[in-house]
């Protein structure tokens, strides 16, 4: 990264310089002096807590992107030619693989300790056991309430053993459709008894857009339960601290697109500076605060209705 400043350390913000004669912009870094050392330490620790939280918040991104790529290609089919169908088949296979990988990633995350380093043994065991129970409960609920969730699992098992996902495609003014053969799934010896029970009741050609829409919705509900479980006092306190810092920054009318806690910086002979840093996204912290407020209001309403 090239910065237009002497080496810095601590809490810093970046502004963009005016365009030079070559049409280039430079980044001007300035040391923020609003906070004392103790406050900066608190901001840095709050950022670390939310960085860990956002890793899990972002787990759905790959699934949603794969879903959208499939939907976009399906709706833009022109002729239904071999090349188009082959690309669309890849899109749906990518979707169900990302869809299943999402669940596997969460399971492994929990089994690996769910970021409980430094906790007491009792706290760690209690937290992980409760998380495992939650995982089993919400995935079972999705399996029992969503046919699309069950079929997505069956198709994933089907395609992972070198089978296609699209057996029939239709392109027309009434809309495009891509389907998997019900019989192809039923004849696959990898299908489970519970999956067979659902698939047997479906049409001969199973609409893959129906599968994608419903399975994504069910997975988002599963993800919401996992994210809510991780909203603890540390996450709430960190969010309050960072939003409070942002309010002080806004009050001082500091308008900067980028904020970093620079741990060390070394200026080289060519004027470039190597940085070791932690980045802060205050807009994201504000959006998280709004989300947390909605969650806590929902929890309060649920508690009030139970007590009524």
Mean pLDDT along residues 133-148: 97
Rounded CA separation 308/306 (Å): 6
What would the pLDDT profile of 44-62 be if each residue is shown by its tens digit? Answer: 999 999 998 998 889 999 9
Q: Does the pLDDT value for residue 164 go beyond 70?
A: yes
**CB 150: neighbour CB atoms within 10 A?**
24
More confident residue, 153 or 266: 153
pLDDT, residue 1, reads 38
Q: Does the pLDDT value for residue 308 go beyond 90?
A: no
pLDDT, residue 2, reads 39
- 16, 29, 82, 65: which is closest to 279 by C-alpha? 29
3-state SS of the chain is: CCCCCCCCCEEEEEEECCCCCCCCCCEEEEECCCCCHHHHHHHHHHHHHHHHHHHHHHHHHHHHHHHHHHHHHHHCCCCCCHHHHHHHHHHHHHHHHHHHHHHHHHHHHHHCCCCCCCCCHHHHHHHHHHHHHHHHHHHHHHHHHCHHHHHHHHHHHHHCCCCCCCCEEECCCCCCEEEEEHHHHHCCCCCCHHHHHHHCCCCCEEEHHHHHHHHHHHHHHHHHHHHHHCCCHHHHHHHHHHHHHHHHHHHCCCCCCEEEEEEEEEECCCCCEEEEEEEECHHHHHHHHHHHHHHHHHHHHHHHHHHC
pLDDT, residue 35, reads 94
Q: Does the pLDDT value for residue 302 go beyond 60?
A: no
Pairing label, strands 273-280, 205-207 = unpaired
User: Tokens for 123?
Assistant: 């706290």
Q: Does the pLDDT value for residue 27 go beyond 80?
A: no
pLDDT band at 297 (very low <50, low <70, confident <90, very high): confident
pLDDT, residue 305, reads 55
What would the pLDDT profile of 85-124 be if each residue is shown by its tens digit? Answer: 999 999 999 999 999 999 999 999 999 998 888 889 999 9
More confident residue, 56 or 20: 56
Mean pLDDT along residues 260-272: 70
Rounded CA separation 143/149 (Å): 6
Domain ranges of the chain: 59-232
pLDDT band at 265 (very low <50, low <70, confident <90, very high): low
Mean pLDDT along residues 113-140: 93
Report whether 151 contacts 158 (CB < 8 A): no
Distance of CA 108 to CAs 41, 63, 256, 277, Å?
32, 17, 38, 29
More confident residue, 295 or 265: 295
Count the residues in the chain.
308
User: Tokens for 71?
Assistant: 């939907």
Q: Does the pLDDT value for residue 250 go beyond 70?
A: yes
Mean pLDDT along residues 190-207: 96
Average pLDDT taken over every residue of the chain:
88
What would the pLDDT profile of 180-192 be if each residue is shown by its tens digit? Answer: 999 999 999 999 9
More confident residue, 147 or 298: 147
Pairing label, strands 205-207, 177-181 = antiparallel
What would the pLDDT profile of 208-243 be if each residue is shown by its tens digit? Answer: 999 999 999 999 999 999 999 999 889 999 999 999
* Angle formed at CA 282 by CA 279 and CA 288, multiple of 5 degrees: 115
């Amino acid at each position: 990264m090239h910065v237009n400043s002497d080496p810095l350390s601590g809490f810093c913000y970046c502004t963009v310089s005016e365009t030079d004669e070559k049409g280039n912009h430079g980044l001007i870094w300035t040391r923020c002096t609003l906070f004392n050392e103790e406050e900066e330490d608190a901001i840095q620790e709050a950022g670390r807590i939310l960085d860990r939280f956002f890793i899990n918040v972002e787990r759905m991104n790959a699934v949603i992107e794969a879903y959208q790529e499939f939907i976009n290609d399906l709706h833009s089919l022109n002729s239904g030619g071999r090349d188009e169908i082959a690309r669309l088949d890849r899109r749906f296979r990518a979707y169900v693989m990302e869809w299943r990988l999402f669940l596997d990633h969460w399971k492994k995350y929990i089994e690996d300790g769910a970021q409980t380093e430094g906790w007491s043994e009792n706290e760690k065991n209690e937290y992980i056991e409760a998380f495992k129970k939650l995982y089993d409960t919400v995935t079972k609920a999705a399996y029992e309430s969503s046919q699309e969730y069950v079929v997505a699992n069956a198709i994933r098992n089907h395609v992972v053993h070198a089978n296609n996902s699209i057996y029939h495609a239709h392109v027309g003014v009434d809309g495009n459709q891509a389907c998997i053969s019900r019989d192809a799934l039923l004849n696959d010896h990898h299908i489970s008894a519970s999956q067979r029970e659902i698939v047997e009741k479906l049409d001969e050609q199973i609409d893959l857009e129906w599968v994608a829409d419903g399975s994504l919705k069910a997975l988002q509900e599963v993800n919401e339960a996992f994210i809510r479980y991780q909203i603890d006092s540390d996450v709430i306190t960190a969010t309050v601290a960072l939003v409070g810092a942002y309010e002080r920054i806004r009050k001082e009318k500091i308008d900067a697109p980028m904020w970093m806690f620079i741990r060390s910086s070394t200026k080289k002979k060519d004027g470039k500076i190597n940085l070791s840093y932690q980045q802060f996204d205050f807009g994201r912290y504000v959006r998280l605060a709004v989300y947390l407020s909605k969650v806590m209001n929902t929890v309060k309403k649920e508690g009030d209705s139970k007590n009524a």
